[in-house]
Amino acid sequence: MKFPPDIRVPLTNHHTGQTYHLVRASEVPTGAEALARIAAICNEPEIYEWLFRGRLSGQAYTPDMARHFLQWAGEGWAAGTHFVFTVVDRDGAVAAACDIKTNTRIAEIGYWSSRNHRGVMTNAVRGLITLATEAGFVGLFARTKPGNTRSEAVLARAGFVKVRSDPDDFIRHELSLQANQDEPQRLPAHERAGRNVH
């Protein structure tokens, strides 16, 4: 999968009209202020509850974890194994993040967005879809926990189709990048068969 060397996709916050940009996470500064900002976002109650409480056993998300996140993002871009993007505001501060988790033809995506920047995530996922299509991916999927209606709404607005619950009770949403994007499309059965879910 091949992405352009310079990525700066303009995004509009549909609540405020403010312009943001989708960029490689490897371009985010690793200074103390940037790391503290990422940690603060990941500790926001909604994000923390859905994404981090279980894996951190109730401990706070720290700036050092943010540093490792950006390091992991850079390693993914360098090796071409996974692709992490951040959404930055007009001052270059991180407002949200989204990623493509593998370099396989059909890949899982994930995302989070600060409560202070509501209205930008759907367009960020749409931007991610465009980049993934141009890079050669043929399908994307996402998994949400039951009850995470905000995340489900983002996926629905971006064109994903809710398919089923996976064995671990996550809800799976799929999008074919080869179909007519005027209508949401699930992945063809032969592409879904045997996919490993993690």
Query: Domain-by-domain residue ranges, the chain?
Result: 8-192
Q: Looking at residue 178, what is its pLDDT?
A: 87
In the predicted structure, residue 189 carries a pLDDT above the cut 80: no
φ/ψ of residue 19, rounded to 5: -90, 135
b or e along 41-79 (b: 16 or more beta carbons within 10 Å of the residue's beta carbon)?
bbeeeebbebbbeeeeeeeebebebbbebbeebbebbee
Q: Looking at residue 169, what is its pLDDT?
A: 86
φ/ψ of residue 144, rounded to 5: -120, 150
- What letter represents residue 123's amino acid? N
DSSP state of 146: T
Distance CA 18, CA 29 (A): 22
Q: Looking at residue 198, what is its pLDDT?
A: 27
In the predicted structure, residue 188 carries a pLDDT above the cut 80: no
β-partners of residue 24 are: 85
Structure tokens at 26: 């490897």
Q: Looking at residue 11, what is its pLDDT?
A: 97
Report the percent of the chain where pLDDT is more than 90. 85
List, for residues 126-160, the tens digit of each pLDDT value. Answer: 999 999 999 999 999 999 999 999 999 999 999 99
Query: Which range, of 26-35, 52-61, 177-186, averages the lowest pLDDT?
Result: 177-186
Q: Looking at residue 160, what is its pLDDT?
A: 97
Q: Which pLDDT band holds residue 168 (cuts at 50, 70, 90)?
A: confident
β-partners of residue 94 are: 88
Q: Which pLDDT band holds residue 185 (cuts at 50, 70, 90)?
A: low
Sign of the torsion formed by the C-alpha atoms of 98, 176, 173 and 170: negative
Q: What is the pTM of this model?
A: 0.89
Give the domain 8-192 fold.
Answer: Aminopeptidase (3.40.630)
Q: For the residues 162-180, what does the mean pLDDT come to?
A: 85
Q: Looking at residue 187, what is its pLDDT?
A: 55
